[in-house]
Structure 1
Amino acid sequence: MVQIHVSGLIDAPVAPVWKLVRDFGALGAWHPDVVTCRLEDGCDGTTIGARRTMTMRNVDGEIEEVLVALSDEARQVVYTLSPGPLPVWDYRAVLELLPITMEDRTVVSWRATYNAPPDLQSDLQQASTGIFTGGIEALISHFSGT
């Protein structure tokens, strides 16, 4: 099983960061590796079961992810990956925000677990880590004004 965890510190209070990331269909608005992102079946980005279809830089074909949990209280977005062009299965990811209340800043944590063929695990782990890192760096930049 492959496990990935990337975290970062955003110099902004948790409320505006959560407003941006809680919309499952808005990933393309802030993640630099997402070329296109659309919600299927007329769902909005907060409906459990919503499916987003994406194209990404350096990935051939479309990727479909399904929103399986959204918690405003815990500030968590949990999603799975549908079968598609990536050679992974049992994929589950969590994007979570934690407030640093004494400093009015936010910790962002993005983690995933999945299975993959043994000979591809290292490359897939490296690629996944890069995608999560790029997203977190984009959030940090967005909220720093740069």
Structure 2
Amino acid sequence: MKAKLKEWLKRYGPAELLSVAATLAAAGLAFELTGSYAATALAGTWVGNGAYFGYILALDILQARRQRHATGLPYTGRTLLRNLRALAVEFGLAEVFDSLLIRPALMYYLPKALGSLSGGILLAKLLADVTFYVPAIISYELSKKRLRRF
């Protein structure tokens, strides 16, 4: 189990740090510009997701490129599509509920409830991550054997 935790932290940890920074920055800017909790929740959700998935996709592309080059094969558009399919399997179900319901709702209500924009956004992100990672990690583990060999 220690090895799995280490693997998951290596995969998701840097993406999470990047996402936290992007989420807080986007939410703060959105609130400053609009004063709207709805705009703040959506900006925090979507910019944080963009940073998170951008990092994960870049990580997966680099790993696939290394695997293919080690066997003398080029990284092609078809390989990119395989990377994207693996990400869709890993995150698809978790992301639908997370991005469209759980995370924006928490980012809307928690800053109001706590009386702190940054504290509420950060707590919302952490709580949403719990519901996100359970299905994401299960899907990742199930997809490793079939979808991550390039």
- Asked if Structure 1 and Structure 2 have the same fold, meaning a TM-score greater than 0.5 normalized by the shorter chain, the answer is no
> TM (normalized to structure 1)?
0.29
More relative contact order, 1 or 2 (CA 8 Å, 6+ apart):
1
> TM (normalized to structure 2)?
0.28
Which structure shows the bigger proportion of residues in strand conformation?
Answer: 1
Which structure shows the bigger proportion of residues in helix conformation?
Answer: 2
Q: Which has the larger radius of gyration?
A: 2
